[in-house]
Structure 1
Amino acid sequence: MEPVLIFDTTLRDGAQGENISFSPEDKIKVAQRLDDMGIHYIEGGWPGSNPAADRFFQLARGTEFTNARITAFGSTRRQGVTAEKDANLNALIGCGSPAITIFGKTWDLHVVDIMGNTLSENLAMIQESVAFLKSHGREVLYDGEHFFDGYKANPEYAVQTLKAALSGGADFVVLCDTNGGTLPHEVTEILSTVKAELDTETGRDIRVGVHAHNDCNLAVANSIAAVQAGAVMVQGTINGYGERCGNTDLTSVIPILNLKMKRPCVSEKNLAKLKPLSRFVSETSNMIPLASRPFVGKSAFAHKGGIHVSAVMKNPVSYEHINPEDVGNRRRVLVSDQAGRSNIEYKAKEMGIDLDSPAFDSKRIVSEIKMLEQEGYQYEVADGSFKVLMDKFLLKYEPVFDLESFRVTIEKDKDRPCTSHAIVKMNVGGESEITAAEGHGPVSALDNALRKALSRFYSELEEMQLVDFKVRVMDGRGGTEAKVRVLIESRDGDDVWSTIGVSEDIIEASFEALADSFQYKLAKEQ
């Protein structure tokens, strides 16, 4: 059975998603990670459409790719212009990519009503464009835009557009669900029928691909249905980024093909790089990783209910459909008001806590945690604070510093923006320390004051940084007196951890979360 090829269009179609933008240098970094993953095709953009796209292909020519073929994207020739004189086609040739994808119209509505073209001229545009690119020795993939909608409206003409591409020498014909409105059973029926007709007419096994959009939340399902119907290429993006509701999410398609359908598209070793790749693309595109994303999300293998955890400790298969490590993820057990003793014991083992310690009483710890969660604490999202809490329960907590007092002032006059200043008085190793600092807001000022006070004693704090800060009003009915929950995420060169603070005063809650973050970091180092 022919392997399924993965065609990544994160850098082109994915970049059309709202709030996503890549610099040419970012694109090269992402392309290198995709190549390392074993992706077969990487679509880099539309040459000639903007300077950034041209810069990417210039950089790509000087970069070595081991597994992937860099692919340029463009359209068929314009109406009334020969392929040889079409600027778009010549830009595709000039960019130097070994593979080229061009799209053409397959839906007669677009040909006549949108383009103002004739059906026959559209067929000529497809055939001549593909033939021109093939004459320059390039691999050519033809994307039939709106194919499934076009087929449902006028099946005979939609298939004629694919035949025009094949007559021009196309190496692949890709059926696109551009509007994302097709259902899986329709994909199966249409693709299998079309492929059978093309195979019969040409006397060979035509290589067909699929390009699905997620407007019905079915892009992955439609891509899998297409493979079952005979497609040997899936186009999509990492994390499903793309225009409107996004594209086929390759972080789901790849493990489904490898682990569920036994149609391996990347090696077992490379499959384990999937979650790191997902996170890298999220970071590069400045998008928050989706915790609930299947396979690679932070919550994909997270267990909260006590019964679930008890079962997973005995046999992970009871509540996990694959081994998390296969896709570079890991199992997480959450500690919350729904937790049981199994959650606490699992979490303790994960943190290297001695379960045989006389002070370890999982029943008492569960009871205490449930009481704290009634007050607003949420330890399932604050591993750092949970570790500090566990040390306190086990009488192992040795505070690195003791707060004596802090003061925060905010000043604003009509001509200048707000300025914040913090004064912190604490005891560090038996020494009293009073430090003042300013910052962009009261929490920033407190953070700077804490660092200033502690860095004299602990140089390792230089590598620690605050990367996220969230405030949640727990019950808005209290108005400005409502209790708030503050979550802070920090990181150093090796680790990422979250801490929590709860109070009616947002500054006090922030300081509590900050203090736990510093305590966690320094306890870890010691």
Structure 2
Amino acid sequence: MPQGPQTMQESELIYDWNTLEGSFDYSTRHGVQLNDETLRDGLQSPSVHDPAVEDKIRLLHLMDELGIASADIGLPGAGPRAVHDVEALAREIVDGRLAIQPNCAARTVRADVQPIVDISQKVGIGIEVASFIGSSPIRQYAEDWTLDRMLRATEDTVGFAVENDLPVMYVTEDTTRAAPEVVKALYRTAIECGARRICVCDTVGHATPHGVRQLIRFVLDEVVKPSGEDVKVDWHGHRDRGLAIPNCLAAIEAGAHRIHGTALGIGERCGNAEMDLLLVNLKLLGLHDWDVSRLNEYVELASQACHVPLAYNWPVFGHDAFRTGTGVHAAAIIKAESKGDAWLADRIYSGVPAGWFGLRQVIEISPMSGISNVRYWLRSHGYDETDEGLCSYVFEAAKTCDHTFTDDEVHALCRAHSVHMASATAPLAETV
């Protein structure tokens, strides 16, 4: 009798080095939330298009269905279009009774907070003010800012938002290159003025995972705990060194309460942490209990609405993520399927189960294929896989080709073989 997860434990089929002694126990971090920055920070990329408000609303609904706790719905201080879209999104949350909580970005000036106050009062929903200010010495030097000036701006802006009954997330840009005494002074002032969430930012993608852990622990130990207030800590990271997802995991390990990201990692320069891949990893780590079968739809909509091409090798959602034309790989998947075990077939050559995301394993025919690829493809498309002549014809064609066949190309080969066989038998028929 074939063995699979029905008769064997998963741990017997997959030895997980990720969970050996000394590894981080992610089960201790249940409750970590996500904040989607696609509709604000993501749109700051010079290569993306600002989607129509209808597409923004569709994205907002998908975020809500995917269990994303909050979303930055724009920076209304940027102008009339931003005000219109932010109001429409806030109203959709109210009218659609969505669980997702809105926030809006604002510079640390009253003029940016006022439109958030106006929209909040008009629509009838609390909108968290994400008030940001640069914190690194390089930024202070370039702007000719003194710490006293930054602290006064913080007091005025945070105080103004709190006076208008809006929650505040105080955001320090470039925190990963800021001096400890400045970080402490800015956050302490914001908390004293009523901010109940602070956001640690890797604005230029400078940090390594070790640096992230050091910084988050410092903020928790030196700022949050001494304050005596119930203050949550967010992490916001960028992709400049390609470390965005590892840095998000490091922030979670160190105790961050909410993690930011954008669909497909869009954003300034190389972009932000990839929300789609963050969801994939949190699902695999057991930290996200929501149904993620529509995550592919979220990715596709963001790609289309923002005019961002999806790379063929993008993890999980790229065209090649679950395709194989390689003989050894295909044979293993086919053998797993022959055991009647979908669980096994979805994991034998995949670290991410395609089925979780409404996707499936795909076996194709390429120069690297074995005869099992050909038989599988023929069977899957309604041809006779026991027809040795047809199998050989397609297999030999693949070995002389320089690419993976499309379905149309294989169908054409099957038709050509059929014509060839008909013409080969025609003389015999005429003689008879």
Distance, in Å, in 1 between the alignment partners of 2:420 and 2:298 is: 38
CA distance 1:368–1:195, change in 2 (3 Å)? same
Shift, 1:391, TM fit: 4.4
Are the equivalent residues in 2 in contact too, given 1:17–1:244 (CA < 8 A)? Answer: yes
Choose from 5, 10, 29 the match for 2:38. Answer: 10
Residue matched to 1:74: 106
What is the letter of the counterpart of residue 145 of structure 1? Answer: E
The answer for the alignment partner of 1:256 in structure 2 is 281
How far off its partner does 1:298 sit? 1.5
- Quote the residue 2:375 is aligned against: 345
Aligned AA for 2:108? T
1:356-378 deviation per Cα after TM superposition (whole angstroms, max 9, x unaligned): 4x36643442112222x15xxx3
Instruction: Return the alpha-carbon distance in structure 1 between the equivalents of residues 356 and 366 of structure 2.
Output: 27
Distance in structure 2 (CA, Å) of the matches to 1:361 and 1:205? 70
Q: Conserved in 2, the CA contact under 8 Å of 1:180 and 1:214?
A: yes
Q: Who is 2:396 aligned against?
A: 367
The percent of aligned pairs where both chains have the same amino acid is 25
2:197 alignment counterpart: 172
AA aligned opposite 2:373: N
Quick one: which amino acid aligns to residue 65 of structure 2? Answer: D
Cα-to-partner distance string for 1:224-264 (whole Å, 9 max, x where unaligned):
111111112111100111111111001111110111x2111
Instruction: Determine which of 120, 125, 128 is the counterpart of 2:148.
Output: 120
- Given the superposition, is the C-alpha separation of residues 386 and 17 from structure 1 closer, same or farther in structure 2, using an over 3 Å criterion? farther
Letter matched to residue 370 of structure 2 = G
Read off the aligned partner of 1:333 and give its amino acid letter. I
Give the one of 293, 296, 317 matched to 1:275. Answer: 296
Q: How many pairs align?
A: 376
Distance 1:155 1:75 in 2: 22
1:161 aligns with 2:180: no
Partners of 1:354 and 1:136 lie apart in 2 by 72
1:88 matched to 2:112: yes
Q: In the alignment, what sits opposite 1:137?
A: 165
Aligned counterpart, 1:384: 408
Shift in alpha-carbon separation, 1:101–1:353, aligned structure 2, 3 A: farther
Could you report, residue by residue, the CA deviation over 1:100-158 in whole angstroms, capped at 9, with x for unpaired residues?
211122223323x23322212212322332232122222221221100111xxx21212
Query: Shift of residue 219 of structure 1?
Result: 0.9
2-structure distance, mates of 1:5, 1:31: 16
Contact map agreement 1:359 1:393 (CA 8 A) in 2: no
| TM-score where L is the length of structure 2 | 0.81
Deviation at 1:282, TM superposition (A): 0.6
Task: Measure, in 2, the Cα distance between the counterparts of 1:160 and 1:28.
Answer: 38
Equivalents in 2 of 1:328, 1:171: separation in Å? 38
Matching residue of 1:220: 245
Following superposition, the deviation at residue 194 of structure 1 comes to: 2.2
SS at match of 1:210: strand
Are 2:315 and 1:294 equivalent residues in the alignment? yes
Q: Which residue of 2 aligns with 1:106?
A: 135
Counterpart among 51, 68, 71 of residue 42 in structure 1: 71
Q: 2:314·2:321 contact (CA, 8 Å) conserved in 1?
A: yes
Match of 2:295, as an amino acid? L
Q: Does 1:51 pair with 2:80?
A: yes
How far did 1:390 drift? 3.3
When normalised by structure 1's length, the TM-score is 0.67
The Cα RMSD (Å) is: 2.3
Indicate the residue corresponding to 1:303 in structure 2: 324
Whether contact under 8 Å (2:90, 2:102) holds in the other structure is: no
Q: Distance in 1 between the 2:357 and 2:83 partners?
A: 34
CA contact (8 A) 1:388 1:397 kept: no
CA distance in 1, matches of 2:416, 2:217: 63
Quote the offset at 1:342 in angstroms. Answer: 2.1
Change in Cα spacing, 1:322 to 1:360, as seen in structure 2 (3 Å) is farther
Task: Name the SS for the 2:77 alignment partner.
Answer: coil
AA paired with 2:180? P
The gaps in structure 2 that reach 5 residues or longer are 1-28, 121-125, 337-344, 423-432
| Paired amino acid for 1:249 | E
Q: 1:397 to 1:56 in 2, by over 3 A?
A: farther
Q: CA deviation at 1:168?
A: 1.9
After TM superposition, give the deviation of residue 7 of structure 1 in Å: 0.7
The structure with the largest helix share of the pair is 2
Q: Give the match's secondary structure for 2:385.
A: coil
Cα offset, 1:274, TM superposition: 0.9
Distance 1:242 1:396, change over 3 A: farther
How many angstroms apart in 2 are the aligned matches of 1:348 and 1:359?
Answer: 11
1:198 CA displacement: 2.5
Partner of 1:209: 234
Contact persistence 1:175–1:208 (CA under 8 A): yes
Structure possessing the higher relative contact order (Cα contacts under 8 Å, 6 or more residues apart)? 2
2 CA distance for matches of 1:282 and 1:14?
A: 12
> Does structure 1 conserve the Cα–Cα contact (< 8 Å) formed by 2:83 and 2:115?
no
Give the match for residue 254 of structure 2.
229
Structure 1 stretch displaced more, 199-208 or 123-132:
199-208
SS in 1 for 2:160: helix
Are the counterparts in 2 of residues 24 and 52 from structure 1 also a CA contact under 8 Å?
no
Deviation at 1:289, TM superposition (A): 1.5
After the TM superposition, which residues 305-454 of structure 1 pair with which residues of structure 2 at under 5 Å, given as runs? 305-315=326-336, 316=345, 317-356=347-386, 358=387, 361-371=390-400, 373-374=401-402, 378-380=403-405, 382-393=406-417
Answer yes or no: is the 8 Å Cα contact 2:394–2:413 preserved in 1: no
Determine which structure has more spread, i.e. the larger CA radius of gyration.
1
Q: 1:396 to 1:39 in 2, by over 3 A?
A: farther
Separation of aligned partners in 1, 2:215 and 2:91: 42
